[in-house]
């Protein structure tokens, strides 16, 4: 039933590891202090505490499935880590040596990018997204979605090619060694609001105006980007970030997280917790005129710039409609005390552009970094001829209420 495309996963060691990391421990150690400790936050209650890396970003029997021998997936990931971990340390050594060409770092990332995408799909955030739907989801269901992603080597290679061929790259360096690490492992954010999609988000890899942050350590992130990058990011270089710039990056990393986020220092993590947007993954149902339904799981939207998030909120809430008759020089109705042209007009312009794209039935390929290449898939998309349970329950509730 499983892993027919990857013989590595079969017949692995039977050593039992009950506490299984959903972000690789070798990466956690690169964010730890000299005692191998990190500050971890449970985001549901914004509780920050000190913990060891061997306990951080982990849970009991994370990757177990009734039809797999114990530790099959855990050992599979360990084999990948044994190949990738030395390469990550080599990149850090390159970045610390002023005599070495940093393009050597890019070559290593390029070599391992498919494996880093596997780390992304096995992460705690993605596991959370796999379970986010109306119908009950078992741990076995969740693991099967994970397996479907990581054994599709053609998809992983094609997504890697999309990123390598259509995104610029650089390295960002935190002045105070205080980058955060998300439970999603790598972090993504939209650099512009493009549309409200049915089965993807504005931050999906392969779209225009997206930034991808790959953790190396609390000092360095390897970064791919397309489009409207921050001014402090320069192509193919080491970009030295000040405190405010590091904070902007960290807010994006924090908002990629669902359950946990870690930091080498408490102050950075605690100070930006008010910026955390606790949004759960969304579900969508598409009914086809011929027959059948598609049930789709959606990641939460994450925007790099606050103004873009505000503009997207204007669009999704239809708030921009309230400004339809407002003139540029009139006072803004948001009661900021500013004129409309110096306040909310910029959000309304973006919201109206997205609305017009929908009305004009714009081809979604215009949002792709390259229309001839693939983009990141939705979390999960299932077609079924049977009406989804949610629609059945809504119809029954409507009947009970006499509507």
Closest CA to 239 of 91, 102, 369: 102
Contact between 247 and 174 (Cβ < 8 Å):
no
Contact between 172 and 239 (Cβ < 8 Å):
yes
C-alpha dist (Å) from residue 44 to 133, 249, 262, 276, 279: 19, 21, 14, 10, 11
Q: Position of tokens 């005390």? A: 337
CA pair distance 351, 310, nearest whole angstrom: 10
pLDDT by 10s per residue, the chain, length 403 = 334 444 444 444 455 557 788 899 999 999 999 999 999 999 999 999 999 999 999 888 888 888 888 888 888 999 999 999 999 999 999 999 988 899 999 999 999 999 999 999 999 888 888 775 556 677 788 888 889 899 999 999 999 999 999 999 999 999 999 999 999 999 999 999 999 988 899 999 999 999 999 999 999 999 999 999 999 999 999 999 999 999 999 999 999 999 999 999 999 999 999 999 988 777 777 777 777 777 778 889 999 999 999 999 999 999 999 999 999 999 999 999 999 999 999 999 999 999 999 999 999 999 999 999 999 998 876 666 677 666 666 667 767 776 5
CA pair distance 201, 195, nearest whole angstrom: 8
Q: Which helix or strand (DSSP H or E) is residue 350 part of?
A: helix 345-359
Residue 358: is it exposed, middle or buried by C-beta count within 10 angstroms (0-12/13-18/19+)? exposed
Other beta carbons within 10 angstroms of residue 57's beta carbon come to 27
pTM recorded for the entire structure: 0.89
CA pair distance 204, 129, nearest whole angstrom: 14
Contact between 358 and 195 (Cβ < 8 Å):
yes
What residue ranges do the domains of the chain occupy? 7-275, 305-372
Closest CA to 53 of 70, 31, 69, 73: 31
DSSP states of 141-207 as a string? HHHHHHHHHHT-HHHHHHHHHHHHHH-EEEEEEETTS---EETTBSEEEESS-----SS--TT-TTB
CA pair distance 155, 153, nearest whole angstrom: 5
Q: Sheet of 380-384: strands edge to edge?
A: 282-287, 293-298, 380-384
Asked whether the CA dihedral 108, 112, 116, 117 is positive or negative, the reply is positive
SS3 content of the chain, % helix, strand, coil (to 5): 40, 20, 40
Pairing of strands 282-287, 293-298: antiparallel
């Amino acid at each position: 039933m499983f892993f027919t495309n990857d013989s590595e996963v079969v017949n692995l060691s039977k050593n039992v590891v009950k506490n299984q990391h959903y972000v690789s421990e070798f990466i956690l150690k690169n964010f730890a202090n000299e005692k191998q400790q990190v500050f971890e936050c449970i985001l549901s209650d914004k509780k920050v505490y000190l913990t060891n890396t061997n306990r951080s970003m982990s849970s009991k029997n994370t990757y177990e499935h009734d039809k797999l021998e114990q530790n099959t997936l855990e050992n599979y990931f360990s084999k990948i880590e044994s190949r990738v971990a030395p390469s990550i340390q080599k990149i850090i050594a390159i970045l610390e040596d002023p005599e070495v060409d940093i393009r050597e770092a890019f070559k290593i990332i390029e070599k391992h990018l498919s494996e880093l995408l596997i780390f992304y799909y096995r992460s705690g955030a993605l596991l959370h997204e796999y379970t986010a739907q109306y119908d009950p989801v078992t741990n076995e269901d969740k693991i099967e979605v994970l397996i479907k992603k990581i054994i599709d080597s053609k998809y992983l290679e094609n997504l890697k090619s999309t990123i390598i061929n259509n995104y610029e790259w650089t390295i960002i360096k935190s002045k105070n060694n205080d980058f955060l690490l998300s439970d999603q492992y790598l972090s993504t954010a939209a650099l512009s609001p493009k549309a409200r999609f049915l089965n993807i988000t504005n931050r999906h890899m392969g779209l225009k105006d997206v930034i991808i942050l790959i953790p190396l350590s609390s000092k360095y992130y390897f970064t791919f980007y397309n489009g409207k990058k921050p001014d402090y990011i320069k192509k193919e270089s080491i970009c030295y970030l000040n405190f405010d710039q590091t904070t902007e990056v960290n807010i994006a990393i924090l908002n990629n997280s669902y359950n946990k986020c870690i930091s080498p220092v408490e102050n950075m993590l605690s100070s930006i917790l008010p910026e955390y947007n606790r949004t759960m993954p969304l579900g969508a149902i598409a009914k086809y005129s011929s027959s059948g339904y598609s049930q789709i799981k959606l990641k939460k939207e994450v925007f790099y710039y606050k103004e873009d998030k505000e503009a997207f909120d204007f669009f999704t809430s239809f708030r921009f409609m309230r400004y339809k008759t407002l003139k540029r020089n009139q006072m803004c109705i948001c009661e900021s005390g500013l004129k409309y042209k110096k306040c909310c007009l910029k959000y309304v312009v973006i919201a109206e552009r997205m609305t017009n794209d929908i009305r004009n039935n714009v081809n979604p390929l215009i949002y792709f970094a390259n229309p001839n290449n693939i983009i990141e898939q939705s979390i999960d998309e299932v077609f079924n001829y049977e009406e989804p349970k949610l629609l059945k329950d809504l119809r029954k509730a409507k009947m009970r209420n006499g509507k």
